[in-house]
Amino acid sequence: MKTAAARIGALAGVALLTACAPAAAPQRVPAAAPPTAAASTSPRPPACSPEGIRITELGVSAAMGLRAMGLELVNCGNRPYVLHGYPAPSLRDADRDPLAVQVIPGARPITSGFDQPPTRIVLRPGERAAAALLWRNLVTDATVVASNGAYLDVAPLPGRPAYPVELDGPVDLGNTGRLGVSAWKRYNGATSTQPPAPSGPPSTAPTPDSRL
């Protein structure tokens, strides 16, 4: 009995000392940082220009050396915008130096089917028009350096301000130095990855004078 009582007394003493010992300070867990949104990899659309339009590339189709690039013009302003004619493109090389390019309205010397004459279009806010740039990647003279347009600027009509248009790839003119343009026409945006369809069956073979 004395042994049992001694054991109980010893355990009680340990418990009492434990109760009197200062409690360890609780550890603070740092607050988790709020999650940050992942950076978007999608390019931002070009800003609306001071005259209330935005011009972008629709894509390029290529067949047997013939290239066709679609252009889309959106009325992003708050008033009607009038178009009657052809876009006015200009090209610069990788060093941003201007390239000497002959712009051909209608593109007939380059190919057929994009020679529909222009009509007057009035775009209300949010409406669109489309046109196409046409060229051939031909090298007909080994002594002439081939031209590659790395930067494209497009004015909606000759005499109006030009705006940079982001390219998916170079405008590889070879050494032809010629760039055809089709007239603007109304566009509903249904096929946003292909150039506008020609007004007639396009020729896929180079015309004789396109080799000059």
The answer to whether residue 24 sits within a structural domain is no
User: Domain residues for 183?
Assistant: 53-211
CA distance 131 to 70: 6
pLDDT on residue 35: 52
The answer to whether residue 69 sits within a structural domain is yes
The answer to whether residue 23 sits within a structural domain is no
CA distance 54 to 59: 16
Q: Which residues contact 189 (CB under 8 A, 6 or more apart)?
A: 72, 128
C-alpha distances in angstroms, 134 versus 29, 139, 140, 188? 65, 16, 18, 21
| Global pTM value | 0.69
Tokens of 46: 């070009």
The answer to whether residue 153 sits within a structural domain is yes
The answer to whether residue 72 sits within a structural domain is yes
Stretch (H or E) spanning 59: strand 53-63
pLDDT on residue 115: 83
Assess contact for 71 and 83: CB atoms under 8 A.
no
Phi, psi of 55 (to 5 degrees): -115, 130
Torsion sign over Cα 133, 137, 139, 143: positive
The answer to whether residue 154 sits within a structural domain is yes
pLDDT on residue 49: 94
Parts of the chain with a pLDDT under 70? 1-45, 64, 190-212
The answer to whether residue 199 sits within a structural domain is yes
Number of domains in the chain: 1
The answer to whether residue 99 sits within a structural domain is yes
Task: Give the 3-state secondary structure of residue 17.
Answer: helix
Task: Give the 3-state secondary structure of residue 6.
Answer: helix
Q: Which residues contact 64 (CB under 8 A, 6 or more apart)?
A: 204, 205
Maximum distance among all alpha carbons in the chain? 124
Tens of pLDDT, residue by residue over 103-144, are 999 988 888 878 889 999 999 999 999 999 999 988 877 777
